[in-house]
Amino acid sequence: MAKDSEQRSYSVEEMMEHLQKGKRKGSESPNKEVVTRPDGSQVTRVRKRKRRTEQSKRKAKPVRQRKYGLYSIVVLILLTVVGGISIITMVARFNSKGFREDIAASIGSTAGAVVGINGLSVNPIKTRARSVEMTWPQSGMPRSLLLADLETRLNISSFFRSRLHGPELYFRSGAMRLGPATGRPSAPPAIGTDQFLSFKSYRCNQFDLEYGADSREAAFRIRDSELVAMELPKAGGMQFRLSGGFLRFGNWSELKVKNGLGEWRDGGFHLVSIRTQSEQEGKAVFKGVQPIVGESTAEFDVELTEFPLEQLLGEKNLGRMLRGRVDSSSGGLSVSTGEQMDPQFEIAFSGKESSIEGFRFLGGLASILRKQHYSRPEGGAISGLLRRNRNQLTIENLRYEIRSQIVLTGTIIIEEGEMSGALRLGVPEGLMMKTLNQTRYPSFSLPAQGYCWTEVQLSGSLDQPDDDFLRRLEASPIAPERPTKP
């Protein structure tokens, strides 16, 4: 115990020495230094450390954060209120009577028409109109246009520029009437960004188009076709694309439309092409040569591929008597201006596997030859030149042939339902010759090109066809044999 107590006792000198060593160690610290005061006393001063860049700054005081959040909420509320008031004001203006009248006046001034807009409703989500009606004076080609159930989605810029702009304007149905122009052709409607109305495209689900004199049946019409119209920037007009629907010229049979392309420019309608299809899958293509404009005659080229002859002739016309599939690479269709406006059709056709029936002379021929298939020949080749207008149909250079059975050539005319024309009927000489030098019936000629020939004059009507075939047989006595020279 004595030893431990001796080790724990220190002298005064040792204690002072330990204190001085501690002061020296404190002064050696990089953040501390000893400073002597004026009175001679010494103190240790700790130097402040500089803030490093990677150290985070002090956070803002909670009170200041609450102030900034309150200011933001107030500003947001003010912007919402001001924006809501502005939108309500703009929508109210767009739905006002004055704005509808401004739109109607702008469209009417551009198109040269009287315009009426009914049931217009404008909002940022969807814009609708019950109908738009446009009428033109009688001197121009456009007569009237009626659009029903319009709707679109406007661009946001429309509400700031006070104009109706958008990607597409859709209308459920539309009907347009065109007529012959009696004055100077009017300029096509110019639709641009400086007008009240401007869309990239205009689409109609069911569109009808008629062209004809006001007091007569339309020269041609298109019904129930889907229409897409777009602006022609360079030409300053409109382009029209058709899909589906039906096409009819005058009182002819309807054709099913596959697709079509047309343009309205230079005051007239230019038909680029329209492709049609019959119920039996035959094809007919019409291409514009002369546009529908002013007082000139509109002309179209026509091409046929496997087209039903009965539909070409008219199923209530001569098409009841001549049937088959025909082709044509050269044909023309024209529509004249004026009060009549009758479409004129001329086309050279040819086909195979055709049939002929209903002519009275066929029954007489089957009777004298005692071969029933002559009453309705089938599988023959047919060709001819067809000319047709509203009231008359003519087949010139007609040739119907079943090799070694029958040949029929000549002209057939149907006018106002009445039939006329002259045919030359050929029957194989093996069926008609009584002897080497005498035919069974004097009304038939001696063989030429392997057939005996007779003339047939057509008459009657489509409902009751007639001809002089049997009368010729009865009126031609058998020629007496010539006496031989002694």
Q: Which long-range contacts (CB under 8 A, 24 or more apart) does 108-112 make?
A: 108/134, 110/189, 110/190, 110/191, 110/195, 111/136, 111/142, 111/189, 112/136, 112/137, 112/140, 112/186, 112/187
Could you give the residue ranges of the DSSP H alpha helices within 149-207?
158-161
- Stated as kind and residue range, the H or E segment containing 373 is none
Amino acid, res. 39: D
Q: Side chain identity at 66, as an amino acid letter?
A: R
Task: Return the pLDDT at 66.
Answer: 63
Could you list the pLDDT tens digit for every one of the 486 residues in the chain? Answer: 444 444 456 566 766 676 666 655 555 555 666 667 777 677 666 665 555 555 555 555 555 566 667 667 766 776 666 555 555 555 565 666 766 677 778 777 777 788 888 888 877 778 888 999 999 887 777 888 999 999 988 777 666 666 777 889 999 999 998 887 765 544 444 444 345 677 889 999 999 998 887 767 788 899 999 999 988 877 678 899 999 999 988 777 788 999 999 988 877 788 889 999 887 788 999 998 888 776 678 888 999 999 999 988 888 889 999 999 999 988 898 887 666 677 888 999 999 999 999 999 999 999 999 999 999 999 999 999 999 887 889 999 999 999 999 999 999 999 988 999 999 999 999 999 988 888 889 999 999 999 999 999 999 999 999 999 999 988 765 544 443 343
- Other C-beta atoms closer than 10 Å to the C-beta of 173 total 15
Res 317: pLDDT: 87
Contacts with 126 (C-beta within 8 Å, 6 or more apart), sequence order:
151, 152, 153
What's the pLDDT at 479?
A: 46
DSSP 8-state secondary structure symbol assigned to residue 446:
S
Contact indicator for 227, 203 with CB cutoff of 8 Å: yes
Residues 148 and 318: their CA atoms lie apart, in Å, by: 40
- List the structure tokens of 176: 């347009």
**20 sits in which H/E element:** helix 12-27
HEC string for 194-231: CCCEEEEEEEEEEEEEEECCCCCCCCEEEEEEEEEEEE
Q: Are 127 and 149 in contact (CB under 8 A)?
A: no
Alpha helices, H only, 278-415:
309-313, 360-369
Tell how many helices (H) and how many strands (E) occur in the chain: 9, 23
* Amino acid letter, residue 405: Q
Do 255 and 274 form a contact (C-beta atoms < 8 A)?
no
Q: Kindly report the number of other CB atoms within 10 A of residue 202's CB atom.
A: 22
Residue whose C-alpha is closest to residue 190's, from 126, 140, 252, 235: 235
Residue 171 bridge partners (DSSP): 150, 204
Question: What pLDDT is recorded for position 267?
Answer: 72
Strand partners, 23: none
Per-residue pLDDT, 57: 52
pLDDT at res. 91: 59
Pairing mode, strands 197-211 and 164-178:
parallel
List, as one string, the DSSP characters of 339-367. Answer: S---EEEEEEEEEEEEEE---HHHHHHHH
CA distance 422 to 441: 20
Domains observed in the chain: 85-179 (3.10.450), 357-480 (no CATH)
Q: At 109, list the tokens.
A: 């001034």
CA torsion 99-100-101-105 (nearest 10°) is: 100
H or E, element range at 162: none
Q: What is the pLDDT of residue 190?
A: 46
DSSP for residue 402: E
* SS3 assignment, position 332: strand
Q: How far is CA 109 from CA 88, 115, 117, 440, in A?
A: 29, 9, 14, 81
Reading the block at residue 421, the tokens are: 């024309």
Q: How far is CA 58 from the centre of its chain?
A: 69
Q: Return the structure tokens found at 94.
A: 């767009």
